[in-house]
C-alpha cells in the first residue's frame, strides 16, 4: 500500500501568503487521515487533489482556532456532496461541543454521522493494517501528539523454498503469505518455513504544538517521518518556552535522540519569510531534516533491508 504525506498548511497562528494554517494529510491505501484542520484546509485538499468523500478520519491535536476552524468547512462540504458514509473525528473533548454548536448556529443538516472519539493517551485507532496512537504533549492547553504505525508485514515469500518443499503454486502460496498454515498431502507447512523475517511497518509522527519532552522522544522512537513543531529559530528560543512551542534545534535534538529517519520542520512563525536559518540550525543536529512547504508531498516506501531508503519528496 502506498503511504503518502501531504503538507496542507505549515504556518503557525496566522496564515501567510505562501503558508496556510496547520494541516497534514496522510494517505494510506484508500484511507485519508487528516491531522489538524486550520482555516483553509478544504481548499488545500482541493489544490492537492485529495478527495475527502471516502474513508476520512480527522485528528485534532488541540483546540486552538488555527488548528481546528477548517473542520467546519470540511464537514459542511461533505454534506453538500451528500455524503452518507460516517466521518470519524478524534480530538479533545471540547471539539465535540465546537462542532455541535457550529452545526446548530450554522444550521447545516448533516447527511451523515460524525463518529466522535474523545482522545485519551494510548491507542486511538486500531485497523487491520495500522494503528494510530496519541500521547499527551506540552502546550498551553490540553494537547496531543499522534503516531501512525503500520502493522508489521509478513516476510518476503521464498519462491524457491516453496517449490523445493513441493508446495504447489497458487492458493496455498497466498495462504502462507497471509500467515496461514497449509496442508500438502499429509504434511503441514507453516508460514515461517517459506517466509523471511517479518518486515517492519512504516510510521509517521505528528507533534502538534508542543515543547519537546522525554515522553515525546519515547513516543516518536524510530519514526520514519516526523512532523515536529518548529515555530521558532534559536534567536527566539525564549518565545518558544513562553508560548509552549519548540525551536527547530529542539525538534532536531528530539528527532536525533528518538532515532527518527526524516524530520520535517513545520508550524513556522509568520515572522520568518524564509526558513533557511531554521533548517540550517536543525541540520547541524539531525542531518536528515527538511522544512515543510505547503503542497509538499512525501512518499514513504517500505524500508527494505540492506537498501538505502529513498523517500520521494516533491
Which residues would be at the binding site for a second copy (CB under 8 A)?
Answer: 13-17, 20-21, 39-40, 42-43, 46-47, 63-66, 68-70, 72-73, 76-77, 80, 94-95, 97-98, 101-102, 105-108, 141
What's the closest the beta carbon of residue 118 comes to a second copy, in angstroms? 14
Catalytic residue of the set 66, 209, 229, 294: 66
Instruction: Confirm whether 66 is a catalytic residue.
Output: yes
Min dist. Cβ of residue 70 to a second copy (A): 7
**Residue of 308, 129, 124 lying closest to 201 (CA atoms):** 129
Min dist. Cβ of residue 100 to a second copy (A): 9
Residue for cell digits 520535517? Answer: 264
Dist. CA 224–CA 150, nearest whole Å: 11
Using DSSP's 3-state secondary structure scheme, residue 311 falls into coil
All three cell numbers of 172, joined, read 496455498
* Rounded Cα gap, residues 67 and 38, in angstroms: 4
Residue 72 or 282 with smaller CB distance to a second copy: 72
Contacts of 192 (CB under 8 A, 6+ apart): none
Kindly tell me which of 97 and 120 has the beta carbon lying closer to a second copy.
97
Q: How many residues are present in the chain?
A: 314
Q: Exposed (0-12), middle (13-18) or buried (19+): which is 172, by Cβ within 10 Å?
A: middle
Residue closer to a second copy by CB (options 27, 37) is: 37
In the bound state with a second copy, the residue whose beta carbon lies nearer, of 64 and 88, is 64
Smallest distance, a second copy to C-beta of residue 38, A: 8
Query: 167 to each of 183, 190, 193, 199, how far by Cα in Å?
Result: 9, 11, 11, 23
Choice between 149 and 245, CB closer to a second copy: 245
Q: How far is the CB of 146 from a second copy (least distance, A)?
A: 20
Residue 83 to residue 154: CA distance in whole angstroms: 36
Q: So which residues are the catalytic ones? A: 66
Amino acid at each position: 500500500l502506498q503511504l503518502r504525506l501531504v503538507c496542507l498548511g505549515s504556518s503557525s497562528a496566522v496564515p501567510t501568503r505562501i503558508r496556510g494554517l496547520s494541516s497534514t494529510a496522510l494517505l494510506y491505501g484508500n484511507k485519508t487521515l487528516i491531522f489538524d484542520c486550520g482555516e483553509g484546509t478544504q481548499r488545500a485538499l482541493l489544490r492537492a487533489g485529495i478527495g475527502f468523500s471516502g474513508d476520512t478520519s480527522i485528528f485534532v491535536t488541540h483546540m486552538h482556532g488555527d488548528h481546528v476552524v477548517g473542520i467546519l468547512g470540511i464537514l459542511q462540504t461533505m454534506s453538500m456532496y451528500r455524503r452518507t458514509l460516517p466521518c470519524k473525528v478524534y480530538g479533545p473533548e471540547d471539539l465535540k461541543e465546537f462542532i455541535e454548536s457550529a452545526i446548530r448556529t450554522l444550521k447545516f443538516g448533516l447527511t451523515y454521522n460524525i463518529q466522535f472519539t474523545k482522545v485519551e493517551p494510548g491507542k486511538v485507532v486500531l485497523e487491520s493494517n495500522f494503528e494510530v496512537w496519541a500521547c499527551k504533549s506540552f502546550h498551553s492547553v490540553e494537547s496531543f501528539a499522534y503516531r501512525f504505525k503500520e502493522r508489521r508485514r509478513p516476510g518476503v515469500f521464498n519462491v524457491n523454498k516453496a517449490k523445493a518443499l513441493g508446495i504447489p503454486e497458487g492458493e496455498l502460496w497466498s495462504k502462507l503469505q497471509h500467515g496461514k498454515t497449509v496442508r500438502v498431502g499429509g504434511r503441514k507447512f507453516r508460514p515461517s518455513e517459506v517466509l523471511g523475517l517479518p518486515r517492519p511497518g512504516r510510521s509517521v509522527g505528528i507533534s502538534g504544538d508542543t515543547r519537546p519532552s522525554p515522553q515525546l522522544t519515547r513516543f516518536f522512537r524510530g519514526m520514519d517521518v516526523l512532523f515536529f513543531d518548529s515555530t521558532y529559530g534559536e534567536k527566539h528560543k525564549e518565545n518558544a518556552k513562553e508560548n509552549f512551542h519548540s525551536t527547530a534545534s529542539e525538534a532536531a535534538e528530539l528527532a536525533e535522540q528518538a532515532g527518527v529517519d526524516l524530520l520535517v520542520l513545520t508550524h513556522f512563525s509568520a515572522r520568518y519569510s524564509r526558513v533557511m536559518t531554521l533548517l540550517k540550525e536543525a541540520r547541524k543536529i539531525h542531518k536528515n531534516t527538511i522544512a515543510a512547504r505547503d503542497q509538499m508531498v512525501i512518499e514513504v516506501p517500505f524500508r527494505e533491508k540492506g537498501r538505502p531508503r529513498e523517500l520521494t519528496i516533491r
